Structure 1
Amino acid sequence: MRELTAQDWADAEVVWDYHQLHHELVPCSAALVLGGNDIGVASFAAELYHRSVFPVMVISGGKAPGTEKLFPRGEAEHFREVALDCGVPGEVILLEPNARNTGENIILSREVFAAAGIQPTSLLLVAMPYMERRAYATCRRQWPEVDPRCASAPVTLREYVKTIGPAAEVVDMMIGDMERVMRYPDLGFAIAQDVPEPALEAYSRLVERGFTSRMLKA
């Protein structure tokens, strides 16, 4: 597996920080727990539930090509098991087991809330650290009536890599997410986000150095 240089780490940390919105953690009427390859999202959501940040959650995620080996019964099912093991009551967990991308996470979870008679006005998006900005931008476009906030486990990039690694794969994922943050508004999938010059320069250097496996196909 490719080793990161000192410059790679420096640029990756700039991109890592860009992806996180640093929203103040305030009580919300519900949470949407976004699936992915990081099962730690589920345990962090459980922690926030026990801190009374929200009273009910939808856990969203189906069988995605990148995670099916990790979670053969679907992301939502496996995340739910972790939340239950962390002491979250089953009656406050709703499942959305079909989403294959972030847009579907939002759209299908909105339907799950509605079917349960829940109409959140404020929504906490619990996601992987490098997914915060894209989740927020997607929610603002696909569910404009709700006020979204984002939360992820409070870890540094190097701490995160130790738990989920390898580092090069994490950087590839971050680059793929940043490309989507920049391109998806033109496709109608998300609202536009400002990209500061230092973040764009760090992104461009990492692309030039080949961290491109998760980028969109031409």
Structure 2
Amino acid sequence: MISEQSWADARVLWDYHQMHHELRPCSVAIGLGSHDLGVADTAADLYRRGMAPLIVFTGATSPTTQERMPRGEAVHYRERALELGVPSSAVLVEPKARNTGENIRLARALIDEAGVDVASVLLISKPYEERRAYATARMLWPEVEVVSASTSTSFDDYVASIGDVSLVIDMLVGALQRLLLYPQEGFIISQSVPSGVEASFKRLCVAGFTSRLVR
């Protein structure tokens, strides 16, 4: 049973992890691979809305996606986007990345190879990974403007779609820990974490939502 305090703390982290950027047309969209096909759905929707003329899907497989996406995350994302009406000519696939840093580096290399001039990137991720994806891109590709995007959904609806509230809260906590730790490793830029967000993070750790923490 999840306590009212843990629900409230989880919502604090959920809101913080999203950048709340105003969408605008960008040079290219990059969809970051994961277990969530909603990233591909959102990329297709934004393409149809004229937010980017080209989509790059990036991602190999992981233990959580190997069964669901045996051909690789980026490949499955591309197939989904084509099903949703995106033309094949508007999609590039980067099939080797296994973490967010590789997503950015390898997608950038593929875009450079294609000869695309990039001033801005529409970076599409899971809702609770927006901030870390943004911070990674700003570290590795500082010369471009990054506009963050994800599936528009509430915390409650996202929990319902996953079907496991404890797992979702574990993921929120793990993502926040990485925002605190990874700047020291040079993986991401440092960002301000409000005291209320850090307090919610600590309470959730004490409450046992720790399965996704870096040990």
User: TM > 0.5 between the two?
Assistant: yes
Residue in structure 1 matching 2:43, options 42, 45, 57: 45
Q: Structure 2 matches for 1:23-172, cutoff 5 A?
A: 23-172=21-170
Q: CA deviation at 1:151?
A: 0.5
- State the match for 1:193 in structure 2: 191
The residue identity in structure 1 corresponding to 2:174 is G
**CA displacement 1:111-169 (0-9 Å, x = unmatched):** 11011111311000011000000000000001111111101111111101111231111
Structure 1: gaps (5+ residues): none
Which whole-Å CA distance do the structure 2 matches of 1:195 and 1:111 have between them? 31
The residue identity in structure 2 corresponding to 1:108 is L
The worse-fitting range, judged by mean Cα deviation, of 65-74 and 5-14 is: 65-74
User: What RMSD over aligned residues (CA atoms) do the two structures have, in Å?
Assistant: 0.9
- Identity percentage over the alignment? 49
Which whole-Å CA distance do the structure 1 matches of 2:50 and 2:134 have between them? 21
Q: CA deviation at 1:66?
A: 2.4
User: Once superposed, which parts of structure 1, at least 4 consecutive aligned residues long, lie more than 2 Å away?
Assistant: none
Q: Is the 8 A contact 1:38 1:164 kept in 2?
A: no
Compute the TM-score of the two structures, normalised by the length of structure 2.
0.98
- State the match for 1:203 in structure 2: 201
Structure 2: gaps (5+ residues): none
Q: Is the 8 A contact 1:175 1:215 kept in 2?
A: yes
Q: CA deviation at 1:65?
A: 2.1
Compute the TM-score of the two structures, normalised by the length of structure 1.
0.96
Residue in structure 2 matching 1:9, options 3, 7, 10: 7
**CA displacement 1:9-52 (0-9 Å, x = unmatched):** 11100000000010010110101101111111101110000000
Which whole-Å CA distance do the structure 1 matches of 2:150 and 2:211 have between them? 24
- State the match for 2:172 in structure 1: 174
The residue identity in structure 2 corresponding to 1:41 is V
